[in-house]
A and B are shown apart, each in its own frame.
Chain A
């Protein structure tokens, strides 16, 4: 096993596990708390479309994936506002449209579609040094954003209108989170694959939410679970020669199941509130 550490591709894969797994899990916590986890699906499919465009244009699929992801993520809020529709409706439309265009463009790729199919399934073992640097940059950006604006993020997550009423610039914070999410999903597309990245956005975040009521603890736990799932998935992939995307996602799902079964179940045991008047505003 130690011999693997001397292999460059394995070291790249391990670095991608730390930076990619950690970033995706942290972004997943925000998307879960913003109650728009479906945005993850939408962005991952937009990233897939961007990568296909990159392949067709003979340019970097990763850069195009990040651009497409950012456009899709940032379009949701304003479109939902203008159309006076729920964000989930707009997400569904963007998701289906990007998937449709992706399939059509895939058919236009000449010759075997290996590269495009790799983007669907992903592989940690083929991550390059350049991609690791991009993932590290995204991870660093996310960490800086979190440490600089943590209190504003908490306010925007709690209630955007209240944050605005207090004089907090909630819109830049909200879209900053979405933009960082887009960067993370786009940069991690090669690792996990367009079809399965959504699971890594949701599973570690919700596993952590099962175990704590404190946001800083949840963020740290989610990052640990995200990185852990990637490492374990990488090893499973190497040992049993199975696709990494699938093994990473299955391990993260297993983690959620374990947390669900073994957690102190603080939520379920909490005392019932006597007045549920908080869920609707006029």
Chain B
């Protein structure tokens, strides 16, 4: 481990996520430029920014789905690398904006939620009764218990996002990453999902990093706002300070 990695491990034990000078290029274009941020355990932070600001790239880099050009990503006191990537991912719940899958896929809602238990159970091990109890509990908490036997392709957009939240919850994450998870939903479905998220965060106390371009789509228990523009961090601080700045006409 590099000295920077050791420093990361010992100085920020309270951090779930600690990003230092992250730069990411995609297809020869710089998407993120020297972004640094940290999210503490149990904290709820939102990343705001217009389309193309680099929000999704930030989340995908944290998960290791996109390689970083430079910089360090620290997760749960460890420097993320290809060696520990899978182990770290098991502690992260991820809810993407939308999920591409075959609508006729013969998998039930229960099967999809159970994906959250797969990595935790281990390769080649069947899910045990405790895993299935967690699947049922996550479905119950998300209010979709009655849908468990339904094929996933038969659900509405709002129901599908609740399934994704339940799947992430079932993973018992220490950090939840939400990528514009409510942007394609109707106003009612969006409110429903945000209330669910708010309740689950209060109940489970995991850290949340949620990205959105709708300042209105931020739950009340979000304390912190990070603003990205053009791949650079423009603001990082208390949510109310950001709102006050905006009202004062500052960027």
Contact = CB atoms under 8 A, between A and B. Distances in A.
Nearest to B158: A275
Contacts of A274: 156-157
A164 interface: yes
Contacts of A209: 104, 106
B99 interface: yes
A248 B29 CA distance: 53
B101 interface: yes
Interface string A146-176: 0011111011011101111111110000000
A278 interface: yes
B240 to A, nearest CB: 30
A281 B65 CA distance: 14
B157 A276 contact: yes
Interface stretch (B13-21, B87-95, B139-147, B217-225): B87-95
B104 A267 contact: yes
Given A149-B124, A277-B157, A281-B97, A165 B65 contact: yes
B198 to A, nearest CB: 22
Interface residues of B, number: 52
B116 A278 contact: no
A271 interface: yes
A215 B108 CA distance: 9
A274 B154 CA distance: 9
Contacts of A214: 106, 108
Contacts of A159: 99-101
A280 interface: yes
Contacts of B152: 158
Contact of B94 (A150, A165, A279): A165
A33 B171 contact: no
Contacts of A275: 156-158, 160, 184-186, 189
A209 B111 CA distance: 17
A167 B116 CA distance: 9
A158 B156 contact: no
Contacts of A154: 107, 111, 114-115
A209 B89 CA distance: 33
Interface residues of A, number: 40
Contact of A33 (B56, B87, B105, B179): B105
Contacts of A158: 101, 105, 107, 111-112, 115, 152
Contacts of A270: 151, 154
B119 A167 contact: yes
A151 B111 CA distance: 8
Looking at B116, B119, B160, the one whose CB has the most chain A CB atoms below 10 A away is B119
Contacts of A280: 98, 100
A151 B127 contact: yes
A35 B105 CA distance: 10
Contact of A278 (B99, B104, B115): B99
Contact of B154 (A161, A218, A273): A273
Nearest to A172: B123
B157 to A, nearest CB: 3
Given A168-B115, A168-B119, 11 more contacts: A33-B106, A148-B124, A154-B107, A164-B65, A168-B86, A212-B106, A215-B107, A218-B106, A277-B98, A278-B160, A282-B180
7 contacts: A151-B126, A154-B111, A158-B101, A214-B106, A277-B160, A277-B185, A279-B98
